[in-house]
Amino acid sequence: MRGIWHLSVPDSHVDNKCPCGLVQVVEPYQAIPVRTTFHVISPTAVLFIQAVDAAMSLSGQFCQGESRVGEVDAFIIGVPKAGTTWLANVMSQNPGVTLSEPKEPNIVATRQGTFGRDPTDPDWSRYEECFSGDGLRVDASIHTFACPLAPSRLSSRVPNAPMILCLREPVSRAFSHWRMIIDTEEDARNGADWSDFYVAWGDDRLSGDSHYAISMKRWLEHFPLDQFLIIDSQRMRNDPGGVLGEVGGFLGLPDFEYDFDPSRHANSATDRRPITNVGRAVRFLFSLIPSSIKKPIVSTLQARDINIYAAPVISRRAEKAAAGPEHYSICADSLCSDLKDFESLTGFDTSHWVESIESNRQKSS
């Protein structure tokens, strides 16, 4: 009985690296003289080599799948008080985007918000509960940028993921962050006293988010610069359309007409009303509700732009404040140096921030 055999030897298994195929009419079980520079291979050996090569290929695909977080596609990695809430909410209007719920799932970073720290390895399976919908899945955990372990963790799982980094003049960023903590009494709930800005600035949990170059050096050890879109938060106010156009191009999103109303989508200081004793009781009772019940309630209130904590009995009107010369004087030395380093690392112009910091510091003398 005669048959047709067509056997090819994988390139990686031929000494001269040239593919070698053979079509020959043979008797069954007759040795087939597959010609390579140095080999004469029997059919059994050829089939074995092909099987091994196929297994290695599948293994590579499996490993590649393991190295990806299939539940998330892109990240808004930072920073706090730099327009990330506005950007994430506006982006989520696009049907091509699915924003994580909650906005900051804090799965990758050891930093779980301003004060929380969790040194354990990430539970990647938690992403399965953070998204609903078919759009590009975006994790907006904004404390990720300052986390020392986040770059290596993400590079081992999603080495090609695009990263959006929103930045703000770092003294005003730190001041706004500090005011938020004071207004919400989060420092007291975490055993800290940040009532004095000088003391708070000495705590890395505040100042670490403003030292952009220190964090960026760690990221560039694991990712190329072109995987980052760096946005000055001031541009979100002055040119929201341009910013969303850049974001869309960076992420490959379909065109969309966005609602840019900043009052609806931003996390502003006027929305952070200091809580009253009644408000504290309401917050405590609400914390006892299981998340499975609480989540749809919160989603419904957010969709209708209803903030129950804005009620006068629950909170009082916040005082408007801005960073003054004394705050710039405290931060200037370390931040001006850091900003120059950041510009050297990224090419992102920080000269206007350096000038602003120096100018405001001089007013204190």
The pLDDT score that the predictor gives to residue 290 is 85
Q: Hey, which of 49-53, 166-170, 273-277 has the most confident mean pLDDT?
A: 166-170
Q: What span, in angstroms and rounded, lies between the C-alpha atoms of 301 and 311?
A: 14
The pLDDT score that the predictor gives to residue 294 is 74
The predicted model gives 47-58 an average pLDDT of 50
Question: What single letter denotes the amino acid at residue 51?
Answer: A
The pLDDT score that the predictor gives to residue 273 is 63
For residue 193, pLDDT over 50 is answered with: yes
What own/partner pairs with CB < 8 Å and gap ≥ 24 does 303-307 have?
A: 305/264, 307/271
The residue among 143, 131, 144 whose CA lies nearest residue 73 is 131
Confidence tier at 51 by pLDDT (50, 70, 90): low
For residue 67, pLDDT over 60 is answered with: no
The pLDDT score that the predictor gives to residue 300 is 76
pLDDT in tens, 303-338: 665 677 667 777 766 666 899 999 999 999 999 999
Q: How many CA atoms lie within 13 A of 83 on its CB side?
A: 26
For residue 197, pLDDT over 80 is answered with: yes
The predicted model gives 337-357 an average pLDDT of 98
pLDDT in tens, 128-187: 999 988 899 999 999 999 999 999 999 999 999 999 999 999 999 999 999 999 999 999
- Burial class, 287, CB count within 10 angstroms (exposed 0-12 / middle 13-18 / buried 19+): exposed
Confidence tier at 279 by pLDDT (50, 70, 90): confident
Domains in the chain with CATH codes: 3-66 (no CATH), 74-181+192-265 (3.40.50.300)
The predicted model gives 237-249 an average pLDDT of 97
For residue 237, pLDDT over 80 is answered with: yes
The pLDDT score that the predictor gives to residue 297 is 78
- Percent of the chain whose predicted confidence (pLDDT) is above 70: 73
Model confidence, pTM: 0.72
What contacts 173, CB < 8 A, 6 or more positions away?
79, 80, 81, 82, 167, 209, 210
The pLDDT score that the predictor gives to residue 296 is 78
Question: How far from 165 is each of 31, 53, 242, 322, CA to CA, in Å?
Answer: 62, 42, 16, 23
The pLDDT score that the predictor gives to residue 53 is 55
259: left (phi over 0), alpha (psi -120 to 50) or beta: beta
Confidence tier at 15 by pLDDT (50, 70, 90): very low
The pLDDT score that the predictor gives to residue 9 is 40
